[in-house]
């Protein structure tokens, strides 16, 4: 814990349900006690992204994000300082960029693919959570999300899955799963895991009302 701030890192593969778990956990906490930080808001501009052998941009590499800046922002939040970030729009054409103020809070929930890969982020985390689901479940979730929210074709999604997403998962996520304090299988439900997280945070943050909140 850093000066009363408790940093919880939630990592896992694409479509594993990281964001769903983080939002559910946020809803268990008193509104003023929690802040969410998304790794996605640290993507570098598309002009700076690497392309694969077929000329396709690969967003599923640690270098696609400014993880050093994320580590710096977490340090600032832990010291009680607000930070300002552009909200990432997933390269949707015509989407207006928005600046966000991220305020410090008792609990900081950080979610993203490569949190554990970066030592400067990993070493700041008080609790490390790995969210997992079967490959078929993750792919179905990604297909639905990327068509609905990002306008990608099925062909493009499957190409990314086979050539970018799964290689990144094997190379940059799985090697760190054993370092996590809690492993959540998020396929049908995760209520028990939410209860464990709620009780842990109540104990570690000194917010006793958390212990009586239903999950």
Q: How far is CA 54 from the centre of its chain?
A: 28
Q: Give how far Cα 124 sits from Cα of 1, 5, 11, 116, 211, Å.
A: 9, 11, 14, 10, 25
Residue 86 lies in a domain: yes
Q: How far is CA 212 from the centre of its chain?
A: 27
Least Cα distance to 184 among 6, 74, 25, 7 occurs for 25
Residue 48 lies in a domain: yes
- State residue 103's pLDDT score: 95
Q: Note the pTM of the prediction, 2 decimals.
A: 0.89
Per-residue pLDDT band at 212 (split at 50, 70, 90): very low
- State residue 92's pLDDT score: 55
How far apart are the C-alpha atoms of 79 and 89, rounded to whole Å? Answer: 28
Number of residues written out for the chain: 215
Least Cα distance to 149 among 189, 95, 86, 113 occurs for 95
The boundaries of the domain holding residue 124 are: 6-208
- State residue 57's pLDDT score: 95
Q: Quote the number of domains for the chain.
A: 1
- Max CA pair span of the chain: 54
- State residue 76's pLDDT score: 97
- State residue 124's pLDDT score: 97
Residue 155 lies in a domain: yes
Residue 127 lies in a domain: yes
36 Ramachandran zone, left/alpha/beta (phi>0; psi -120 to 50): beta
How far apart are the C-alpha atoms of 110 and 146, rounded to whole Å? Answer: 22
Residue 35 lies in a domain: yes
In tens, the pLDDT along 54-71 reads 999 999 999 999 999 999
Do the beta carbons of residue 69 and residue 63 sit within 8 Å? Answer: no
pLDDT exceeds 80 at position 99: yes
pLDDT, mean over the chain? 89
CATH number at residue 61: 3.40.50.300
**164 CB-near residues (< 8 Å, 6+ apart):** 52, 56, 58, 59, 60, 61
Residue 213 lies in a domain: no
- DSSP calls for 68-113: HHHHHHHHHHHTT--EEEEPP-TT-TTPPP-EEEE---SEEEEE-T
Q: Tally the C-alpha atoms within 13 A of residue 20's C-alpha that lie toward its C-beta.
A: 21
- State residue 2's pLDDT score: 59
In tens, the pLDDT along 158-199 reads 999 999 999 999 999 999 999 999 999 988 778 888 888 988
Give the whole-number percent of the chain exceeding pLDDT 90.
69
What mean pLDDT is predicted for residues 113-126? 97
- State residue 7's pLDDT score: 97
Residue 214 lies in a domain: no
Q: How far is CA 86 from the centre of its chain?
A: 16
Give the whole-number percent of the chain exceeding pLDDT 70.
91
Per-residue pLDDT band at 94 (split at 50, 70, 90): low
Least Cα distance to 7 among 164, 165, 127, 105 occurs for 127
In tens, the pLDDT along 120-169 reads 999 999 999 999 999 999 999 999 999 998 889 999 999 999 999 999 99
Residue 153 lies in a domain: yes
């Amino acid at each position: 814990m850093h000066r009363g701030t408790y940093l919880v890192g939630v990592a896992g593969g694409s479509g594993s349900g990281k964001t769903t778990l983080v939002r559910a956990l946020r809803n268990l906490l008193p509104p003023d006690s929690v802040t969410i930080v998304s790794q996605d808001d640290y993507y570098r501009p598309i002009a700076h992204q690497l392309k694969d052998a077929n000329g396709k941009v690969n967003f599923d590499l640690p270098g696609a994000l400014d993880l050093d800046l994320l580590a710096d922002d977490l340090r600032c939040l832990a010291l009680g300082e607000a930070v300002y970030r552009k909200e990432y729009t997933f390269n949707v054409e015509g989407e207006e960029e928005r600046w966000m103020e991220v305020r410090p809070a008792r609990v900081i929930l950080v979610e993203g693919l490569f949190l554990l890969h970066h030592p400067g982020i990993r070493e700041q985390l008080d609790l490390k959570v790995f969210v997992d689901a079967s490959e078929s479940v993750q792919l179905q979730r990604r297909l639905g999300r990327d068509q609905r929210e990002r306008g990608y074709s099925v062909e493009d999604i499957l190409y990314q899955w086979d050539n970018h997403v799964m290689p990144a998962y094997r190379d940059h996520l799985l090697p760190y799963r054993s370092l996590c304090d809690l492993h959540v299988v998020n396929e049908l439900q995760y209520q028990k895991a939410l209860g464990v997280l709620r009780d842990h945070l109540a104990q570690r943050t000194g917010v006793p009302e958390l212990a009586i909140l239903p999950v």
